[in-house]
Amino acid sequence: MEEDERLKEQNKIIGNARLRPPITFMTVVFALILVYLVVQTILLATRDRIQAYEVGTPVSDNVSGSYTGIVLREEHVSVAPEGGYVSCFSVNGERLSSGSTVCTLDETGLLETALRSMYFGEQMLSEDSKVRIRDTVRDSMYGYSRLDFGTAEDIGTAIRAAVFNGLIKDADSTAKTALYSSCTPVVTDESGFVLFSLDGYEYTVPSGLSLSDFTGEKPAAETVNTGDQVLAGQFLYKIVPGNQFSLVFPLSEQEAVRFSGRKTLTVRLDGGLEITGKFSEATGQDGTALGVLYFQKYGANLLNARRVSFFLLDTSVTGYKIPESAIVKKSFFTVDRSFITEGGGSGARGVLIEEDGKVTFREVTVYMSDSDSDSTNDFIIGSNTAYIAGDCLEAGTVLVAPETGDSPLETTERKTALGVQAVIEGVYQINSGYCVFRPVARLSSSLETSYVIVSPGIRNGISDFDRIVLNAENVSEYELIYQ
């Protein structure tokens, strides 16, 4: 019996051992691979995906410059013939014909009440007047902004003016006589656009402007609305006879030279309107150089504007078109080009450094212009300046210029200590799967405001069909990219 029990126990142990899988080297390897895959999956799922942008080939694109200008036009100011309360029968910016009623003046300010009491409950408005009021309400919906309460006041004035105008026009002669017996109608003797604001630029010419008109605070405008009380001789309204206007803007010395001899220039206004005007130059009263553009039409688009921002469409340039978001800045050491040499078995570019009295060759990453032209001076400070990446050397390192055998330099000219740094712009190229800084030189901004045009002729810069990081602020140099 004891022997049988012992045999059963041994068989049980042997059976359990057979069920337990052996731990081998391959088992450990597969387990580690599984853990690695799980970790990488989690990292890929939680990591921000980096978007790439393909550079493409150089393109010819229009470039733009942003300017601030003053709108000048012919404006005729009218004053109140007598004192009283104003009731506007015209909308600000409305085009009137000669003989139209602009507004009325009455001593009591009760004209609106008189109109309501006279026509209460009666269908006095014609179909044309109703259509005009309906159109005014519809148009007001597009100009209303909940962020600007002033638009609500403008809408109310416009609708009230449309109703008043309709009532006055549609009233019979007896009603008009009764109304006008208590107020004085103000009638314009010329056609044009009516405006109820005065800002002091009405009779200004370009030579009367100064730089502060473009950069200082906007002057407060005097406005007249229904219900306001005016005195005899006080501003009441003004008439803009036509669509012609001038756009005056300050010019830098470089711009004055660049635009010299030009007869016309094209601008882009808010809303995308592009118009071409006759160009001339003037001098402000403080000596500021001014550009003057004269336009025959589209003045109605700027009736309520005096100081405007616009794009001046100048010329077209050829270069790589890249997003503004792809551009970053990096610090570089700057040295004279004569300190750059070649050394080592592979002819690598680098510099000679002096340490402990010994001169040795150090391979570095060198960025500089391919030519002696200053056309890319947004990047190159002088035609003979070379840039050395800041992570190759330390500040204070002494560089030694190589002997060329032509006109030997003096000993004091053959050495320089790194200390001057320049910050230049560039992008992160990711052709190899990690971020490599490539310098860029801006030529100008594209008309598409989120893009810039950069020069295609920069040493160690970008090339056709390079892939760059779209949002450069989200990565750092040499970082591996997961797309």
pLDDT beyond 70 at 203: yes
Residues 390, 300: one domain?
A: no
The parent domain of residue 127 ranges over: 74-240
Most confident by average pLDDT, 53-62, 70-79, 352-361: 70-79
Same domain, 229 and 265: no
User: Among the three residues 192, 223, 240, which one is the final residue of a domain in this structure?
Assistant: 240
29 in any annotated domain: no
Q: Report if residue 20 sits inside a domain.
A: no
Question: Residue 331 domain-assigned?
Answer: yes
48 within some domain: no
Residues 333 and 396 in one domain: yes
Same domain as 438, residue 335 = yes
Do residue 397 and residue 454 come from a single domain? yes
Q: Does one domain contain both 424 and 455?
A: yes
- The three-point CA angle 302-308-313 to 5° equals 100
Give domain status of residue 393, yes or no: yes
Identify the pLDDT of residue 188: 93
Which tokens in the block code for residue 91? 């909308």
Q: Does residue 272 share a domain with residue 417?
A: no
Residue 456 lies in a domain: yes
Using DSSP, state whether 291 is helix, strand or coil. Answer: strand
Query: Quick check: 73 pLDDT over 70?
Result: yes
Per the structure, how many domains does the chain have? 3
- Per the document, the length of the chain is 483
296-334: pLDDT as tens digits? 999 988 988 899 988 887 666 788 999 999 999 888 888
Is residue 336 located within the same domain as residue 447?
Answer: yes
pLDDT at residue 149 tops 80: no
User: Which pTM value belongs to this model?
Assistant: 0.55
**DSSP character for 208?**
G
For residue 12, pLDDT over 50 is answered with: yes
Q: Are residue 229 and residue 350 in the same domain, yes or no?
A: no
Range with lowest mean pLDDT among 155-159, 351-355, 405-409, 444-448 = 405-409
Q: What is the pLDDT of residue 376?
A: 42
Say whether both 353 and 339 belong to one domain: yes
Rounded distance between C-alpha atoms, residue 429 and residue 52, angstroms: 9
Task: Based on the fold, state whether residues 328 and 312 are members of the same structural domain.
Answer: no
Contact 247, 268 (CB under 8 A): no
Better pLDDT: 178 or 266: 266
**CA proximity to 361, closest of 347, 371, 375:** 347
Among 63-77, 180-194, 405-419, the minimum mean pLDDT is found in: 405-419
Confidence of residue 50 (pLDDT cuts 50, 70, 90): confident
Asked whether residue 236 falls in the same domain as residue 251, the answer is no
Q: Which of 317, 340, 368 is the last residue of a domain?
A: 317
Residue 289 sits in a domain whose CATH number is 2.40.30
Give CB contacts under 8 A, 24+ apart, made by 212-216: 212/286, 213/70, 213/307, 214/68, 214/69, 214/70, 214/249, 214/250, 214/307, 215/68
Give the pLDDT of residue 295: 95
Q: What is the pLDDT of residue 370?
A: 43
State the average pLDDT for the chain.
78
| Listed residues 317, 346, 380: the one ending a domain | 317
Q: What is the pLDDT of residue 58?
A: 84
In a domain, 39, yes or no: no
Asked whether residue 424 is assigned to any structural domain, the reply reads yes
